[in-house]
Chains A and B, each alone.
Chain A
């Protein structure tokens, strides 16, 4: 059963106890594309991936993987994909090589192919020298690479990557991104999640922005760039407080919104380079000393508000409503406070 679409999702929802973690989302992923789920901590990305990969049963909705319904044709659906979960889950008691060989057996690969593919992947992911070392002695980055290699073992048609680069240093993250891009050239369809706008922009053909379990928009990075630009900001604080600052700063040309956070003002604009000198001039003219001056990249929360048409800076989420369970450790670091 071949299908045009690699993944078809409709009306997908998940409720934990009474908490709605994924709120009736619909989307399709085309064959061969890299599709990204971009959202802040607790948005519902992992929950969605776990449902797509049969590890979690949806409360509502349907999922087709390469045309196979995951609940009714689980066996066939499972043969279509490989998963890289949020936390690397290699068998720490086994060597890198044994991990790959075992995965090959779980996917019923014939022995010869299993061995060939293992050698190939160890090389591709730079693990040949450590192939006989138990994975418990691996660094985080090596475990990540091994986890990805294991997901690729049976040459899946679809690869799920949940935060492929989280917790890695810049260099390792870049290596992994390069590999994902290369792999997908003539390889699998990729579904990835990330909370980094840059990563989504660099890798994805299309991006879905998700928060609070809802998809706000699905579009190409090119189109989304305009949105991202409009929610960059300059953050400034002066030594003297004056209620007049806010209006004065709002008059600067190119500034779309000014939001006050504590003693700081945040000026949103799609052309920060023009705004910065004007802020300096204002400080000069008023004989103010600048205490803080930061340029802020787009924060996901702001992007989300922007595309859902709510006003930036006006709606703050109560962190308490989302801080239960696994997502909580990282908290919401929108950079907005």
Chain B
């Protein structure tokens, strides 16, 4: 048997990740649970908490982007993993010659790109209807993609336990996400919070995403861009690492 070179091996992992990504996009995008949790929910949140208060278009856009990256990206993992575990098709991926991290990265991309797509739509709508403009388009691209990946990984982490139906995951996942939403600086800007509230808000990943998006859309933020980016990147690594640990554990327990 000829030994593959390291390069071939990596190229192979990429092509597997890509194949898996395409399959997931084809199978899961626009399925009822994805639309419900990933599209309807963030829009509902946005309209119920923001529009009525006569928000400036740009602030509105920054907030909508934070909401969509958060809810849309984190939904994908929570929908796909339990469905595939129940159908036992997840075993196919586990038995295929590919690294676990390849599967996790490919899956993160599924949620992330769903969120990026929705964000792009929100942005275009905001621009067309209200003439909202963006201060730093390049930074916005980075901000949306990075937040989308972090939150997508969060969704995967939550779904890496033992549950076998999206219903079983959605409860804990929602219980986790709503507090993170309400303690974050998304509805009340950080600089208008009291000391305590602000301290608590730093516990939510959403705070950093919102601040980064504020930098990109409005041109001003409360913290440094570097801090926001560093925290989001670190969280991405932690979430993926945690998910990989949980999945290894379930290979021991046998579900």
Contact = CB atoms under 8 A, between A and B. Distances in A.
Contacts of A55: 91, 94-95, 251
Given A78-B97, A81-B95, A93-B26, 9 more contacts: A16-B254, A47-B254, A53-B95, A89-B92, A91-B87, A94-B27, A105-B19, A106-B16, A106-B98
Which interface residue of A56, A76, A79 has the most chain B CB atoms within 10 A? A56
Nearest to A17: B253
Nearest to A89: B88
Kindly list the 9 A-B residue pairs having the minimum CB-CB distance in the complex, ordered from nearest: A105-B19, A89-B88, A78-B97, A106-B96, A93-B27, A57-B252, A79-B97, A108-B12, A89-B89
A75 interface: yes
B20 interface: yes
B247 to A, nearest CB: 11
Interface of A: 1-2, 14, 16, 47, 50, 53-57, 75-76, 78-79, 81, 83, 85, 87, 89-94, 102-103, 105-108, 150
A106 B93 contact: yes
Nearest to B98: A106
Interface residues of B, number: 27
A50 B251 CA distance: 10
A20 to B, nearest CB: 13
Given A94-B27, A102-B19, A108 B95 contact: no
B245 interface: no
A89 B91 contact: yes
Contacts of B7: none
A85 B251 contact: no
Contacts of B93: 106
Which interface residue of A94, A102, A103, A108 has the most chain B CB atoms within 10 A? A108
Contacts of A14: 254
Interface in B77-112: 87-89, 91-99
Contacts of A103: 92
Interface of B: 1, 9, 12, 15-16, 19-20, 23, 26-27, 87-89, 91-99, 248, 251-254
B46 to A, nearest CB: 30
Contact of B97 (A16, A85, A108, A150): A108
Nearest to A14: B254
A90 B20 CA distance: 15
B251 A75 contact: no
A94 B23 CA distance: 9
Contacts, number: 71
Contacts of A79: 97
18 contacts: A2-B1, A14-B254, A50-B254, A53-B95, A56-B251, A57-B248, A75-B98, A75-B99, A83-B95, A87-B88, A89-B88, A89-B92, A92-B87, A94-B23, A94-B27, A106-B20, A107-B97, A108-B16
A85 B91 contact: yes
Contact of A57 (B87, B92, B99, B251): B251
A2 B2 CA distance: 11
B88 to A, nearest CB: 4
Contacts of A93: 26-27
Nearest to B20: A106
A18 to B, nearest CB: 13
Contacts of A75: 9, 97-99
Contacts of B12: 108
Nearest to A16: B254
Nearest to A46: B254
Nearest to A66: B1
B139 to A, nearest CB: 36
B89 A91 contact: yes
Contacts of A94: 23, 26-27
Nearest to A77: B97
Contacts of B94: 54-55
Nearest to B88: A89
Contacts of A47: 254
Contacts of B15: 105, 108
Contacts of A54: 94-95
A57 B94 CA distance: 12
Contacts of A102: 19, 23
Contacts of A78: 95-97
Contacts of A105: 15-16, 19
A102 B98 CA distance: 14
B6 to A, nearest CB: 12
A120 to B, nearest CB: 20
Contacts of B19: 102, 105-106
Which interface residue of B9, B12, B20, B88 has the most chain A CB atoms within 10 A? B88
B254 A107 contact: no
Contacts of A89: 87-89, 91-92
A100 to B, nearest CB: 12
A83 B90 CA distance: 13
B254 A56 contact: yes
A102 B18 CA distance: 11
Contacts of A2: 1
A120 B251 CA distance: 34
A50 B96 CA distance: 13
